[in-house]
Chain A
Amino acid sequence: MVPLSAYLVLSGILFTIGVIGFLIRRNTIVLFMSIELMLNAANLAFVAFSRHLNSMDGQIFVFFVMTVAAAEAAVGLAIIMAIFRTKETVNADEINLMKW
């Protein structure tokens, strides 16, 4: 049987990859994908603890995390499209003014 710590280490590594991706990439769409990676790392920790503690609450929580991820992706991608329409770029370094 795989111990809980193995799943948690995997979750930690996945979260770190998401953080590094968010910090080093400048394409806004890839930044959103990095956020999805971080959310998935949290989901993995939830499910691992749910199994470890004989509870279903972790699995229920994963649903809510997925809903928030879906809502965030829909609104975030709409914002990216709105910005691309006015500024013709998705580079996060060039989107540095609130309104101009």
Chain B
Amino acid sequence: MLEEILFVVLAAGTVITALLVILQRNPVASAIFLIMTLFSLAGIYLLLEAPFIAAIQVLVYAGAIMVLFLFVIMLLNLEKEQKIITRNRLQKIFGVFLGIVLLMQIGMVFHSILLTGEKGFFPPDKVAALGNTEVVARLLFTDFLLPFEITSVLLLVAIIGAIILAKREI
């Protein structure tokens, strides 16, 4: 029962703050609400018995990525830019309409296919006995070692790309 209540509260928090992200005029307010969305999602990950993912969500997403966003907003000095609104009303109407169509399509997919599959080797009690972080780490450094290493190269490329793009003269 407690799980259901927590889920409803966190899901409502996620949806409301996500709506506020896209409805706020001020980009700083949008960023703050996005941080709240990410925290609610971290709570939902805890409900799904993924505590390590929840911790990473808070540390990397709410911590690192959102600080990057706030820094850029601060650096750009957007005072006169804050009032960027879509003057084209048609664009807004079509945007919302297409979004609703997409939601209906997603709902139809969920409704029409059977949401089952081959069960894996990690039932919740086994993961709890081994420890969530230990299981994730073991998989990451054995079965998924090559993607893990490629990820480090991707981050290196991103660092170099960001420095080159942000330099004053190229």
- Residue ranges of A at the interface with B (Cβ–Cβ < 8 Å): 1-2, 4-10, 12-21, 23-27, 29-30, 32-34, 36-37, 40, 43-44, 47-57, 59-60, 62-64, 66-75, 77-82, 84-85, 89-91
**Which residues from chain A contact B65 at a C-beta distance below 8 Å?**
36, 69-70, 73
Q: Is the interface of A mostly helix, strand, loop or mixed?
A: helix
Count B interface residues, CB 8 Å. 83
Q: Are A40 and B41 in contact (CB under 8 A)?
A: yes
Contact with A along B136-163 (1 / 0, CB 8 A): 1001100010010001001101110111
**Which residues from chain B contact A18 at a C-beta distance below 8 Å?**
18, 22
Chain A residue with the shortest CB-CB distance to B49: A51
Contact with A along B72-116 (1 / 0, CB 8 A): 110110100100111000011011101110110011001000010
In order of increasing CB-CB distance, the 9 nearest A-B pairs are A55-B120, A23-B95, A21-B22, A71-B158, A20-B99, A78-B165, A12-B106, A24-B95, A78-B162
Q: Are A54 and B22 in contact (CB under 8 A)?
A: no
Chain B min CB distance to A49 (Å): 8
Q: Which of A7, A32, A85 contacts B44 (CB 8 A)?
A: A7
Chain B residue with the shortest CB-CB distance to A68: B154
Q: Beyond A30-B27, A30-B30, is A91–B84 a contact (Cβ under 8 Å)?
A: yes
Q: Which of B38, B52, B68, B151 contacts A40 (CB 8 A)?
A: B38
Please measure, in the bound complex, the distance between the C-alpha atom of A20 and the C-alpha atom of B101, giving whole angstroms.
Answer: 11
Q: List 27 A-B contacts (CB under 8 A).
A: A8-B110, A9-B110, A13-B15, A17-B19, A17-B21, A23-B94, A23-B95, A25-B84, A29-B27, A30-B27, A30-B30, A36-B61, A43-B53, A51-B50, A53-B117, A57-B120, A63-B56, A73-B68, A74-B68, A74-B158, A78-B163, A80-B72, A82-B165, A85-B168, A89-B81, A90-B81, A90-B84
